[in-house]
């Protein structure tokens, strides 16, 4: 057994228990009100997508707080299902599917924010003049700024693809009857990095670095899971 992996697993389990314990009073209240778990799931998705929309318009701090509420509701739906003794395969399927949509909305929001920068140049007469008619130094500055923003937008899209692959590899393993026991950088960790970076604001240089970390660690987790699956599934079908 890997002591480091075991330590990370224990830490993650403790964090989950702490969050669930803090949300237990809300779960009890929702159960008494007759709220269905599916309703909480859909509401959480809508709120998280609203957070992604905030990212798109450059309101990173607001988006992070809004998305955090949506993510906490994603924890509530499972607790509510257990409290009402109505845990179903449909609920698990819906929860997993809406999680993927919510993740995509957040990453697309970040990508949209950065992709808007080159378009803003076309609406700013002074910057456009610098690009087309200005001295070489001013032209290079504007061009490099646009290229940098496009790179960050592509980095956000790559981070989204890697995140979806992490989830897909787990779902595919479970689909062939193999319990996923590999890879520690999952959705909660991704959200901590993404939302934590967003709290620094759109003007801070933190988000691009966070996107790079997300790409690297998500890719590493995908490799871990592919390697684990190969070691367990290699042979005749």
Alpha helices in 84-186 (DSSP H): 89-123, 125-133, 136-175
Residues 6 or more apart whose Cβ sits within 8 Å of residue 220: 185
Residue 213, number of CB atoms within 10 A of its CB: 16
Burial 126-138 (b: 16+ CB within 10 A, else e): ebeebbeebeeee
Q: Please report, to the nearest 10 degrees, the dihedral formed by the alpha carbons of residues 217, 219, 224, 229 taken in order.
A: 150
Enumerate the active-site residues: 99
Q: Which residues of the chain have pLDDT under 50?
A: 1
Domains and CATH numbers, the chain: 3-229 (1.20.120.1760)
pTM here?
0.85
């Amino acid at each position: 057994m890997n002591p480091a992996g075991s330590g990370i697993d224990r830490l993650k389990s403790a964090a989950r228990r702490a969050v669930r314990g803090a949300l237990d009073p809300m779960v009890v209240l929702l159960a008494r009100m007759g709220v269905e778990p599916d309703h909480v799931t859909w509401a959480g998705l809508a709120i998280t997508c609203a957070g992604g929309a905030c990212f798109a318009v450059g309101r990173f701090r607001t988006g992070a707080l809004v998305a955090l509420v949506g993510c906490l509701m994603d924890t509530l739906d499972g607790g509510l299902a257990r409290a009402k003794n109505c845990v179903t395969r449909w609920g698990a399927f819906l929860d997993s599917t809406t999680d993927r949509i919510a993740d995509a909305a957040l990453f697309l929001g970040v990508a949209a924010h950065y992709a808007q920068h080159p378009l803003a140049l076309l609406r700013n007469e002074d910057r456009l003049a610098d690009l087309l008619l200005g001295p070489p130094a001013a032209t290079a500055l504007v061009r490099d700024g646009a290229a940098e923003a496009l790179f960050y937008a592509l980095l956000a899209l790559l981070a989204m693809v890697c995140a979806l692959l992490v989830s897909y590899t787990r779902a595919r393993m479970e689909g062939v009857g193999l319990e996923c026991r590999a890879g520690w950088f999952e959705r909660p960790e991704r959200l901590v990095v993404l939302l934590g970076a967003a709290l620094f604001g759109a003007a801070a240089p933190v988000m691009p670095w966070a996107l790079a970390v997300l790409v690297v660690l998500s890719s590493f987790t995908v490799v871990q899971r592919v390697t684990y699956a190969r070691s367990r599934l290699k042979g005749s079908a």
